[in-house]
Amino acid sequence: MKTKGKFIQLSRNEQIGFMVIAVLILLTLAAKAVIKQINMNSEPVDTALVATLERALAQNAAREKQVEDMAEMSFSFNPNRISYDSLLLLGFSENLAKRFINYRSAGNGFYNAEAVFKLYGLDSSLKKRIDTLMFFSKSAAQENDDTKPASNELATERASTFHNTKKPDYKNERKPFRKKEHLTIHLNRTDTSELQKIYGIGSALSERIINYRNMLGGFVRPTQFFEVYGVDSQKIDLKNVTLLADSQNVKKVAINELDADALAQLPYFNNKQSRVIVNYRNEHGDYQSYGDLLRTKVVSKEQLQQLIGYLQFE
């Protein structure tokens, strides 16, 4: 900085420095004014409200911790008797526990685990967790008619958890498995009442089976049972059924004596075949064996297999 007469002469750098200082001073004054204005417009902090919010947050955190602790508890229970608080101990949410109780209170009992698992909102992890804890000591109808559980049920269930109470014997509570009775059906001696013991056979079908047997003269093979109209292996349960065919008393047909009309009455012959067979016999003599029928050209090998056991050549 130099003096020139009565005036002070500043260098270029000094001029820039003074300008910067002036700008900073102005900015500082403006900031103070803005802060003062903000403080004037702002409302005082409500300390009571802050304290209430802090307490609510603390209570919520404690509730979440309680729910987490509850989810770790396990004890056996009857779905038709368990209380709301006990459901919470098992890890049910409040809404799910209410839905559970409301469903049961409406008269909808739980007959088995599958009925419980159908409850809306029950996720797979909770299903897996309670699957081995449930037991059903009575029918759901009996459970719903019983009085409500005592107020100390929760304490009892908690005690069972900490004292390692044995789980109920599920095997003894279940109904004993009754094995299906095995049936042995002698097709040539059976009647309609015995045939109706086979699942899928009613009165009409049983009569049809007997009529077919009479028309044949008896069953030679058990597989002929399926030749009866209406006998369907997909609809009739033969898992525990044994079919037997005693061919000793089957009525045989004298192939060398019957005329065409009588021969056509047999299930395995039609009118055309009967006429050809009789004409061939009249021209070439009596049939001596089943193989002779193949010479007529109207009897196939498959049909011949069906005829075996029904023809008499003497």
The larger pLDDT score, comparing residue 162 to residue 114, is at 114
Q: pLDDT value at position 211?
A: 93
pLDDT of 278 higher than 80: yes
Q: pLDDT value at position 46?
A: 53
Q: Give per-residue pLDDT as tens, 130-152.
A: 888 888 765 544 544 444 444 44
The three-class DSSP label of residue 8 is strand
Q: Give per-residue pLDDT as tens, 30-80.
A: 777 766 665 555 445 456 655 655 665 555 555 545 544 544 466 778 888
- Provide the pLDDT confidence category of residue 225 given band limits of 50, 70 and 90: very high
Mean per-residue pLDDT, 224-251: 86
Task: For Cα atoms 116, 120, 125, give the angle at the middle one, nearest 5 degrees.
Answer: 70
Give yes or no for a contact between 306 and 268, defined as CB atoms under 8 angstroms apart.
yes
Q: Considering only CA atoms, which of 1, 157, 143 is closest in space to residue 75?
A: 157
Q: pLDDT value at position 125?
A: 80
Domains and CATH numbers, the chain: 73-173 (1.10.150.320), 183-249 (1.10.150), 253-312 (1.10.150.280)
Helix (H) or strand (E) run with residue 126 in it: helix 124-130
The larger pLDDT score, comparing residue 126 to residue 174, is at 126
pLDDT of 23 higher than 50: yes
Q: Considering only CA atoms, which of 203, 306, 74 is closest in space to residue 87?
A: 74
Contacts of 126 (CB under 8 A, 6+ apart): 91, 92
Q: Whole-angstrom distance between the N-terminal and C-terminal Cα of the chain?
A: 156
Q: pLDDT value at position 151?
A: 40
Mean per-residue pLDDT, 305-311: 86
Contacts of 224 (CB under 8 A, 6+ apart): 187, 216, 245
pLDDT of 234 higher than 80: no
Contacts of 163 (CB under 8 A, 6+ apart): none
How does the average pLDDT of the chain come out, rounded?
A: 76
Q: pLDDT value at position 67?
A: 45
pLDDT of 215 higher than 50: yes
Helix (H) or strand (E) run with residue 253 in it: strand 253-254
Mean per-residue pLDDT, 99-119: 84
Q: pLDDT value at position 58?
A: 59
Q: pLDDT value at position 70?
A: 46
Q: pLDDT value at position 238?
A: 86
pLDDT of 267 higher than 90: no
The number of residues in the chain equals: 314
